[in-house]
Chain A
Amino acid sequence: MTSSDSSLQLNHTPGHVKHSGHNLTGFVIFLCSESIIFLAFFAGFTIFKLTSPEWLPPGVDGLDIKMPLINTIVLVSSSFVAYFAERYLHKGNLWGFRIVWLITMLMGAYFVYGQYVEWSNLEFGLGSGVFGGTFYLLTGFHGLHVITGIGLMGLMLYHSFRPGNYDKGDMGVTAVSLFWHFVDVIWIILFVLIYVWQRY
């Protein structure tokens, strides 16, 4: 090779190979950022609860914990179910993944149903002081995330029937699964703040 020909080709170090798959990086950054909205709401709730002169609206003496507790158990266990679905996918058992993934979705749907039943039986509304406002804001905002999560899982289920869907890896399923765990952890904090804390 003469030196003038060196302009045609260059000797490269394979430095860019590690650049595949920044979708997950972006998604994790998004989740960290999203968690701060919840953190703001949690901080607001805590400050209101500690400083508000009249916390509960007149005629309300606290929240019933039984129904939300069942909901919590369902949602928390659905996170483990989602993990097993992912394991099936890694092993290449596509139908195992689809069935267990669907069970996760159904558990999520049960949670939303339970939330709906709880909301419709409450005797206070959005405008019932700071207590009503924060209660509906927190549970509603979290509920929106649960519904979004179920929608995303449905999308992943639909994609799993597309031939060659996993040729480039299963980043989508990993991301949705992460989102589901995130929604789960947020709920645990929310449950402790709203339901458990009221007893003390």
Chain B
Amino acid sequence: MTSTNFDPRILKAPHPVPGAPDNWKRFLSFNTDAKVIGIQYIATSLLFLLVGGLLAMIVRGELITPPADLVDPTVYNGLYTMHGTVMLFLFLFPVLNGLNNLLIPTMIGAPDMAFPRLNAAAFWLVPVFAVLLMASFFIPGGPAQAGWWSYPPMSIQNPLGHFINGEQLWLLAVALSGISSIFGAINFVTTIVRMRAPGMGFFKMPLYCWTAWGAQTIQLIGLPALTGGAIMLLFDLSFGTSFFRPEGGGDPVLYQHFFWFYSHPAVYVMVLPVFGIFSEVFTCYARKPLFGYKFVALASFGIVFLSLIVWVHHMFYTGTPNWMRILFMFTTMTIAVPTGVKVFAWVATLWGGKLRLTTPMLFCLGGLLNFIFAGITGVMLGTVPIDIHVGNTYFVVAHFHYVIFNAIVLGVFAAVYHWFPKFTGHMYYEGLGKLHFVLTFVGCTLNWLPLHWAGLLGMPRRVASYDPEFAIWNVIASIGAFILGVAAIPFILNMVSSWARGPKSPPNPWGAIGLEWLLPSPPPAENFEDDVPTVINNPYGYGLGEPQVADEDFYIRRAQEA
């Protein structure tokens, strides 16, 4: 019998608290298991997708007719501000952190995250700042109304004079969200850098890990800048300083620099993991190795680098000097190169593949199509003359939602379906999944495609009433938004019923390649425990007939027996 000369104790993360519940109650407790935390994140964030979606539907209900008749314009300002904030800080960031928690340790063969307790603390900050943000609906003066940018001097107005006001709660919530994200980022980066399975060099790592690594690097570099700006804004609002108050010698444009230095890269924090999901899903359902794996992997960090030097393109029309506009126009255009590398690699992967149009594949194909469209309007917006013309119109809103919803959220849905059998141990219902896709794709196209025209014709954003000439585009958009609302029904039905009584899932229902598929469904608490596989081949070896890890049969057999 062979004896191993490495000490498995080194691998072990701290165990879950002894006596911690093993049933559904563990999802309501301070649990340090990354797979429990991942599901906690995803469930919480999907709940807030409903909240944010409801806010969006009130907004679209208001905009279905030109006059401001459904809600008061002041309430309307609060609604779109909170819609944006909820969707970004309570839906997208948490849902992606949830996927990171589920996928990173299982994909690299680690037993858990590097810092399990920090991980749980990061999650439990989410409900705390969620309560803060929701509480702002019920205080005098209502929630923050300055838009999700929270630009001064609008955001440092405090007309009612209360010390505790909607804007202040907003800033505190954003600060807590930042702390939570930093905790998460430290954890994810350390885990990826230090806890990979033997033989898994960086260029044998799945692309989801590459993209998550890049995204979390952005968090670590960008988020502190926003935190710095938010602290100064909070001081201006509540403690009488005048950093951003022009009448006190301050400079409101400086806040915009702080804000966009993070918030532009923040889009890449969200889109990069979705690029990873695309790479995983396209290879799996096209049964082909990823075209140009190394370039796709390295392009992730090309995007990270470029994303940090383009932020001024959000400020072309806010008194930016001309040389700065030209400079940042060029950097903005450059970012189309690494993203283009990825898009061409996916198309080349799909080309000539034997496509299986399952729900995750459909979501990814739809997402890719929308992303290409959003990329084209993005290049348009990066051009100074066009941006000055359409800045602050619905063209920007439409472009932004094409990236955030039509590409990113579709990718997130794809991931939820693709890995659902792995982490719940049950198959989802394909029919309901396809219905969800059709409703989502039709809804999101109807919602945001027409708004490009409204924007080009000059409809300004953030207004409760508008010129009747834009009415037709808004009616179509509102119908699309309500279809998206209906799309939630098959999704919820599918998730709840298939987790409760769906057919049992085999370890690898899709015939996918990757360490996570060598584990039982659902994986045991410490994943591979003491028998971590040794990686011997590149990822995505579809159709090559070579095992990805040494002794692959052992792992397949063990997963099936479990």
Give A residues with C-beta under 8 Å from B. 1, 6-7, 9-20, 22-23, 25-26, 29-30, 32-37, 39-41, 44, 47-48, 51-54, 126-127, 129-130, 132-134, 137, 141
Contacts and interface: CB of A to CB of B under 8 A. Distances in A.
Interface string B1-21: 110111110110000000000
Given A6-B551, A126-B239, A14 B224 contact: no
A130 B242 contact: yes
Contacts of A14: 4-6, 198
B11 A19 contact: yes
A26 B190 contact: yes
A29 B186 contact: yes
B558 interface: yes
Given A19-B195, A20-B10, A10 B190 contact: no
Interface residues of B, number: 56
B250 interface: yes
A13 B11 contact: no
14 contacts: A1-B1, A10-B4, A10-B531, A11-B551, A14-B6, A25-B190, A30-B182, A33-B221, A36-B221, A36-B222, A36-B225, A39-B224, A129-B249, A141-B231
Contacts of B8: 16
A22 B186 CA distance: 11
B229 to A, nearest CB: 7
Contacts of A134: 243
Interface of B: 1-2, 4-8, 10-11, 114-115, 118, 182, 185-187, 189-191, 193-195, 197-199, 220-225, 227-229, 231-232, 235, 239-243, 248-251, 254, 258, 261, 531-532, 534, 551, 554, 557-558
Contacts of A11: 2, 4, 551
A17 B532 CA distance: 12
Contacts of B554: 6-7, 10
A16 B243 CA distance: 50
B543 to A, nearest CB: 27
B241 A133 contact: yes
A86 B118 CA distance: 27
A11 B550 CA distance: 9
- Looking at chain B's contact residues, the main secondary structure is helix
A156 B254 CA distance: 40
Given A15-B6, A20-B10, A51-B251, A40 B240 contact: no
Contact of B241 (A7, A20, A35, A126): A126
Contacts of A41: 228
Nearest to B190: A26
Given A7-B558, A16-B10, A33 B186 contact: yes
A61 B241 CA distance: 20
Q: Lowest 8 CB-CB distances: which A-B pairs, in order?
A: A15-B198, A40-B228, A14-B6, A36-B224, A133-B241, A37-B224, A127-B240, A33-B220
B249 A9 contact: no
B190 A12 contact: no
Nearest to A36: B224
Contacts of B194: 18-19, 22, 25
A17 B221 contact: no
A57 B118 CA distance: 44
Contacts of A13: 198-199, 534
A113 B118 CA distance: 33
Contacts of A32: 220
A48 B253 CA distance: 11
Given A25-B193, A29-B189, A16 B532 contact: yes
B320 to A, nearest CB: 14
Contacts of A129: 242, 248-249
B195 A22 contact: yes
Nearest to B255: A44
A18 B6 CA distance: 10
Contact of A33 (B2, B185, B532, B558): B185
Contact of B534 (A12, A22, A30, A126): A12
Contacts of B185: 29, 33
Contact of B228 (A9, A37, A130): A37
A129 B224 CA distance: 24
Contact of B243 (A6, A33, A44, A51): A44
A26 B1 contact: no
B307 to A, nearest CB: 15
Contacts of A23: 115
A26 B198 contact: no
Nearest to A44: B254
A51 B253 CA distance: 12
Contact of A26 (B2, B10, B187): B187
B11 A33 contact: no
Nearest to A51: B251
Contacts of A44: 228, 232, 243, 254, 258
Contacts of B197: 15
A22 B195 CA distance: 9
B107 to A, nearest CB: 16
Given A16-B532, A33-B224, A130 B250 contact: yes
Among A6, A36, A39, A54, the most chain B Cβ lie within 10 Å of the Cβ of: A36
Contacts of A30: 182, 186
Contact of B1 (A9, A12, A137): A9
Contacts of B2: 9-11
B152 to A, nearest CB: 13
Nearest to B195: A19
B189 A130 contact: no
Given A23-B115, A36-B228, A41-B228, 19 more contacts: A9-B4, A10-B2, A11-B2, A11-B4, A13-B534, A14-B4, A14-B6, A14-B198, A19-B194, A25-B190, A29-B186, A40-B225, A44-B228, A47-B251, A52-B251, A126-B235, A130-B243, A133-B243, A137-B241
